[in-house]
């Protein structure tokens, strides 16, 4: 008998996810992220105008937290240097580490979590393209910001141009500040740690990591406060769109490989799962359908022995 899916249960599209298909997919998304930042080079004057407009809005709303944080990180190297390492490193280390953790330990939630992250990233690339924004550190000195990455570049591998490795600053788009995917990805990591970490420490880290990342991106003068808000907004939109992206991917997969092992179900639990050519035993696992055992069909009368002298019993009717 097929198992009844509980509301909110996600059913795997394939029998199991394979690392050799997931890894190229993750690398492809990261390559698109890097290429999108590089190609979305808007006019510098327009980017500066956007940055100054954000700064004016923040001052009008009394949300300008960048200046005091930046002064603190500039004056206190024991805060500024770790913040620069945080900005240049953890964005690219923590996120993949949590993806690997979910893939290995929480396979039932991995696919949706990965789709959420990817969808939000592509939305962020649209923002980089449509709204090139000059970060605070690249504004003229009269606006009162100091580029801590340049100030403390001798402590790390990054150069004075960007958080990229020294000498590669020209290979990144420094005007891709809105939205802040540093904050967006950190929020995603925080949610995953809170929901799936399994102990109190991971819950604390789940709250601390996105909050500290927001302080770091502002204190290092890489983002405005509203950039961080936009990063959170992008992640929210990506979260809402993720189920639809998964269903669209399922439909594409069915059209490309209609004979593949497939279990399709709505992630909200509405309706019953559709199982092709088999019975579902558990999420993503099928066994061949079994025919009902029926009594053997009696032989035709003319094929059965009719001579009572043969000693064979007459066929049952």
Cβ contact 238:126 at 8 Å:
no
* 235 and 265 inside one domain: no
282, 178: one domain: no
Whether 308 has a pLDDT exceeding 80, the answer reads no
How far apart CA 244 and CA 112 sit, in angstroms, is 10
CB distance 48 to 134 below 8 Å: yes
Give the model confidence (pLDDT) of 5-48 as tens digits: 444 444 443 435 665 566 666 666 666 666 655 555 556 888 89
Q: Is the pLDDT of residue 262 over 70?
A: no
Give the HSE-up count for residue 229: Cα atoms under 13 Å, Cβ half-sphere.
8
312 falls within a domain? no
C-alpha span between 169 and 186 (Å, rounded): 23
Q: Is the pLDDT of residue 85 over 70?
A: yes
Higher pLDDT, 83 or 104: 83
Distance, in Å, from the CA atom of 133 to the CA atom of 288, rounded to the nearest integer, reads: 57
Q: Residue 167: inside a domain, yes or no? A: yes
Range of the domain at 279: 257-287
> Going by C-beta distance under 8 Å and a sequence separation of 6 or more, which residues neighbour residue 53?
none
The pLDDT assigned to 38 comes to 57
What is the predicted pLDDT for the residue at 30? 66
Query: 156 Cβ partners below 8 Å, 6+ apart?
Result: 81, 84, 85, 88
Q: Are residues 282 and 177 in the same domain?
A: no
User: Do 86 and 167 share a domain, yes or no?
Assistant: yes
Write out 83-96 in H/E/C secondary structure. HHHHHHHHHHHHHH
Kind plus residue range of the DSSP H or E element containing 287: strand 285-287
Task: Give every CB contact of residue 237 below 8 A, 6+ residues apart in sequence.
Answer: 120, 123
pLDDT for the residue numbered 162 = 58
| Six-digit token string for 297 | 């069909």
pLDDT in tens, 153-198: 888 777 666 555 554 555 566 788 899 999 999 999 999 999 998 8
- Last residue of some domain: 209, 243, 277? 243
The rounded mean pLDDT for the chain is 76
Backbone angles phi, psi at 276, to 5 degrees: -100, 130
Assess whether 68 and 199 both reside in one domain.
Answer: yes
pLDDT at 201: 94
Closest CA to 39 of 174, 173, 182: 173
Half-sphere exposure of residue 72: CA atoms within 13 angstroms, side-chain side: 12
Specify whether the CB–CB gap between 158 and 166 falls below 8 A.
yes
- The end-to-end CA distance of the chain, in Å, is 33
Instruction: Let me know whether 237 and 264 are in one domain.
Output: no
Overall number of domains in the chain: 2
- Residue 64 binned pLDDT confidence (cut-offs 50, 70, 90): confident
3-state class of 280 per DSSP?
strand
Are 44 and 84 members of one domain? Answer: yes
The arithmetic mean of pLDDT across residues 49-56, rounded, is 94
In a domain, 293, yes or no: no
Those residues with Cβ within 8 angstroms of residue 201's Cβ, 6 or more apart along the chain or in another chain? none
Could you tell me the two tokens for 309?
A: 């002298």
- Amino acid 292: pLDDT: 45
């Amino acid at each position: 008998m097929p198992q009844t899916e509980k509301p909110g249960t996600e059913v795997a599209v394939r029998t199991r996810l394979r690392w050799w298909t997931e890894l190229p997919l993750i690398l492809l998304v990261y390559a698109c992220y890097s290429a999108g930042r590089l190609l979305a080079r808007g006019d510098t004057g327009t980017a500066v105008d956007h940055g100054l407009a954000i700064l004016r809005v923040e001052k009008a709303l009394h949300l300008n937290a960048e200046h005091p944080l930046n002064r603190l990180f500039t004056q206190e190297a024991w805060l500024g240097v770790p913040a620069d390492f945080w900005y240049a490193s953890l964005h690219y280390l923590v996120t993949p580490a949590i993806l690997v953790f979910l893939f290995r330990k929480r396979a039932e939630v991995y696919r949706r979590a990965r789709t959420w992250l990817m969808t939000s990233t592509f939305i962020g690339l649209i923002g980089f393209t449509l709204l090139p924004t000059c970060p605070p550190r690249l504004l003229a000195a009269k606006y009162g910001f100091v580029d801590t990455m340049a100030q403390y570049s001798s402590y790390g591998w990054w150069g004075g141009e960007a958080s990229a490795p020294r000498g590669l600053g020209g290979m990144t788009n420094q005007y891709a500040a809105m939205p802040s995917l540093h904050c967006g990805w950190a929020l995603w990591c925080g949610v995953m740690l809170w929901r799936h970490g399994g102990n109190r420490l991971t819950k604390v880290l789940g709250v601390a990591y996105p909050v500290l990342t927001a302080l770091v991106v502002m204190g290092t003068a890489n983002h405005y406060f509203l950039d961080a808000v936009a990063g959170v907004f992008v992640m929210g939109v990506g979260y809402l769109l993720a189920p639809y992206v998964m269903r669209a991917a399922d439909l594409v997969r069915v059209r490309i490989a209609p004979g593949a092992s497939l279990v399709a179900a709505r992630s909200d639990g509405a309706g019953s799962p559709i199982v092709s050519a088999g019975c579902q035993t558990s999420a993503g696992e099928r066994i061949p359908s079994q025919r009902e055992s029926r009594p053997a069909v009696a032989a035709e009368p003319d094929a059965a022995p009719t001579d009572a002298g043969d000693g064979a019993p007459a066929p049952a009717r």
